[in-house]
Amino acid sequence: MTTAVTIPRHGGTGGRTAVAARARQVVKAYGVGETRVVALDHVDVDIERGRFTAIMGPSGSGKSTLMHCLAGLDTVTSGEIHLADTEITKLKDKKLTQLRRDRIGFIFQAFNLLPTLNAIENITLPMDIAGRRPDADWLRQVVETVGLAERLKHRPTQLSGGQQQRVAVARALAARPEIIFGDEPTGNLDSRAGAEVLSFLRKSVDELGQTIVMVTHDPVAASYADRVLYLADGSIVDEMRNPTADQVLDRMKDFDARGRTS
């Protein structure tokens, strides 16, 4: 596997790692004057297609803001965000809503399942709303990969936390989005259920070619990723390829130590 960092400046990706999304000089500031907070400070990043990327950093470093801006859930103050060949920072509300619906999947910390629908109904709900017919073969593959085949008729209250989150992941995958974003998707799960969901996310990248971006503060969760980006004070300050949990933990301790002495 190539480990080269690619930052194509002129569009094309000829011979290099394909880019699913990219940020260029992205600034996000909240408030004005004395209360102004710069959550993202000229961020440049390429999210690689068919890979699992984790975003780490201390609380308040801008992880959620970066994810929201990349996913078109929030506007930027300046700079550009591209999803494949579409500059989403140029889109008006209606087009942006459409793009989020058709091309992006989300997994939240709270599973956000509808309690009155069973698992399979929850999984196909977004497509039902959009008037799209799910591809039956794909759906079967997704359900099998998540290991939910036996529980499709169960309602959320009849499922464990880990199973509910796997339903939420299957729901995100079912529509075959170009990219799935998760903000602390294992934040509400115990370590066993978390591992269940993380293995499934890993599998969806390896076996289904899914692109995933996950915000986490957990070194174990980050170790499932192909690449970890480290944010501090709104800037990407480091990255790690093929991380182990121990390496991620060491790197975090390093940052903490530096933070205390500077």
Ligand X SMILES: Nc1ncnc2c1ncn2[C@@H]1O[C@H](COP(=O)(O)OP(=O)(O)O)[C@@H](O)[C@H]1O
Residues that bind ligand X (CB under 6 A): 30-31, 37, 39, 57, 59-65
Contact (CB, 8 A) for 49 and 19: yes
Smallest separation (angstroms) from ligand X to the CB of 147: 30
| Token code pair at residue 12 | 């094309």
Contact (CB, 8 A) for 111 and 165: yes
Q: Is the Cβ of residue 30 or residue 259 nearer to ligand X in the bound state? A: 30
Smallest separation (angstroms) from ligand X to the CB of 190: 22
Contact (CB, 8 A) for 228 and 222: yes
- Would strands 179-183 and 212-215 be described as parallel, antiparallel, or unpaired? parallel
Q: Which residue has tokens 């974003």?
A: 181
Interface with Mg ion includes 109 (CB under 5 A)? Answer: no
Q: Is the Cβ of residue 106 or residue 170 nearer to Mg ion in the bound state? A: 106
Binds 262, which of Mg ion, ligand X, none (CB < 5 to 8 A, cut-off by type)?
Answer: none
What is the 8-class DSSP label of residue 72? T
Smallest separation (angstroms) from Mg ion to the CB of 60: 8
Q: For residues 225 and 55, give the distance between their C-alpha atoms in angstroms, rounded to a whole number.
A: 10
Q: Is the Cβ of residue 171 or residue 251 nearer to ligand X in the bound state? A: 251
Q: For residues 23 and 70, give the distance between their C-alpha atoms in angstroms, rounded to a whole number.
A: 7
Smallest separation (angstroms) from ligand X to the CB of 169: 21
Near Mg ion by CB under 5 A: residue from 24, 44, 64, 154: 64
Contacts with Mg ion by CB under 5 A lie at 64
